[in-house]
Amino acid sequence: MRALPPLVVADQSWTLPFADRSAVALVEELLGTANSIGSRRPTDHLLLDPPLILWTACRAWQRDALQPRSLDRLLQWLLRHATTVLQWDDAVTASEASTFADQEEACAHQVTQDLLTSELAAAQAGENRELAQEAKLLGLLSGARSWFELAAPELDTSTVIPDWLKTADTPPAGHAVALAVQLAQTDELPEEASPDLQARREWANRNAQSWAQSIETIPAFLPPLTAKLGRLAALEHEFSKTLESEKLESLAEFAAGAGHEINNPLAIIGGRSQLLLRDEESPERQRELALIIAQVRRANEMIADMRLFSRPPEPEPESLDLTELVNQTVAEFAEQAADRAIELVRTGEVEPVNLEADPVQIGVVLHALIRNALEAIGREGVVEISIRRTPVGAEVSVADDGPGVLPEERRHLFDPFYSARQAGRGLGFGLSKAWRIVTNHGGRIEVNSEPGEGSAFVVKLRRQIPDGL
């Protein structure tokens, strides 16, 4: 038995045990050489490791405010971020003797209880597959407080356990878990309970014994492996960042040249058209001249947007109530949405959510996302705007029930001048500006969309703009 990297909250730290077989499974997954270990795949072993799943739930909440609804989703997060989150320092390495060495019996007992509770909770949830998956996850994490008390009995566990897990006793999955906890702690079955409790308990005991088995060689490879893969990922990120910087610099140079060379003739065209329009009496020629002037303004806006994207002004952060700003922006679009028979629904946080950000620039982001949602729907639909607090800041989600985004379009969503809409329905620069502003604030925009099922753009902002951006 080894030790996972510490979970740190403020000045408190907890270290959970790490099963050798889980280390073996992760090594094989990271190296892409995953084969069956015994009669199971490597990922199956990870799903049977309650402290690892608990550690992952806590790290996913700290890092991304992830609130999973199934074990599979939580495991996918771990495998995707393993090289960055599974990093040991010199003080605590997975190859060292675990602080749980003298608590092996207590750990094995807790593993048995968690596995048994997980199985029973899924069974109690019935035939609803999604409900059963959620109950299975909550059942496996039902011993969260016990694990943290084993790790550091003198510390307050409320600061490290994710918020969504603290309220896991709420219906409907919570009811199944509560009953499962009772069943797991007794040998006497009520008449309505499943008759195979003893078989399930034996299964949990066997897996707990396997969880505690020591493996001498491969687990020691995991810390240096994740360290090297983490450095490789950092180098790749730095390369991508440098490449993006060079692309933006080239675009900035082009925008500056284009602005000078194109704006001058545009100014002459626009000015002369306005002079002609002032004295023109023919309605048809008035319409033609007005069209010329409108297109000149459109070209000017295009150049201005390109310059803003390539060399945006630095954010001027100030204390900002995100809730108030979102409410103001939603109100500004109310009339436009009503004209299109589109319902704007405001959900989530209603109390003030305070951040240090540039209110003007964040306002541009909100306008771009809501306008994009309205244009995606066209007519008759729903746009839901939601605010949610996170451990590091806040999220704003703008979701629509429009046609969704095709896979081939997703990679271009934030490209300048890209627009999946028909020609003439926008410059395709709104999302580009939003992405640029959010990244300048140290945040990010995520897109969740499936063709035919609508889209959700989620802006993740920090309480303060990180230094060094």
CA atoms within a 13 Å half-sphere pointing along the CA-CB vector of 319 = 2
The verdict on residue 222 lying in a domain is no
Q: What integer pLDDT is reported at residue 180 of this predicted model?
A: 78
Q: What is the pLDDT of residue 263?
A: 81
CATH number of the domain where residue 280 is located: 1.10.287
Do 389 and 250 fall within a single domain? no
Going by C-alpha positions, the residue among 104, 111, 110, 132 that lies closest to residue 45 is 111
161 within a domain of the structure (yes/no): yes
What is the distance between the alpha carbons of residues 363 and 120, in angstroms, rounded to a whole number?
A: 49
What is the CA 100 to chain-centroid distance, rounded?
Answer: 33
| Same-domain pairing of 128 and 67 | yes
Domain count, the chain: 3
pTM of the full structure = 0.60
Between the alpha carbon of residue 405 and those of residues 217, 384, 401, 411, 458, the distances in Å are 47, 17, 11, 10, 15
Q: How far is CA 325 from the centre of its chain?
A: 22
CA distance 239 to 262: 34
304 and 397 inside one domain = no
**315's tokens:** 């954010």
Note whether 300 and 308 are within 8 A (CB).
Answer: no
Residues 264 and 154 in one domain: no
Q: Which of 363, 301, 360 is nearest to 330 (CA)?
A: 363
Identify whether residues 458 and 374 lie together within a single domain. yes
Report pLDDT for 37: 46
- b/e per residue, 126-162, with b = 16+ CB within 10 A? eeeeebbbbbbbbbbbbbbebbbebbbeebebeebbb
pLDDT for the residue numbered 353 = 92
* Whether residues 63 and 186 fall in one domain: yes
Helix (H, G, I), strand (E, B) or coil at 406: coil
Q: Which domain holds residue 24?
A: 2-216
Give domain status of residue 233, yes or no.
no
List the end-to-end C-alpha distance of the chain, in Å, as a whole number.
Answer: 41
Q: Which residues of the chain fall short of a pLDDT of 70?
A: 33-42, 90-102, 167-171, 187-195, 216-219, 240-241, 244-245, 248-249, 251-252, 309-310, 411, 415-429, 467-469
Task: Give the pLDDT of residue 206.
Answer: 86
pLDDT at 303: 79
Residue 231 lies in a domain: no
Element (H, E) at 462: strand 455-462
- The verdict on 243 and 377 lying in the same domain is no
404 is a domain residue: yes
- pLDDT recorded at residue 26: 87
The reply to whether 274 and 341 lie within a common domain is no
The C-alpha atoms of residue 428 and residue 423 are separated, in whole angstroms, by 10
Angle between helices 129-140 and 173-184 (to 10 degrees): 50
- Do residue 197 and residue 277 come from a single domain? no
The pLDDT assigned to 324 comes to: 95
CA distance 267 to 196: 83
Nearest residue to 440 via CA among 414, 465, 420: 465
Backbone angles phi, psi at 253, to 5 degrees: -65, -40
Q: Is residue 229 part of a domain?
A: no
Q: How far is CA 229 from the centre of its chain?
A: 22
SS3 382: strand
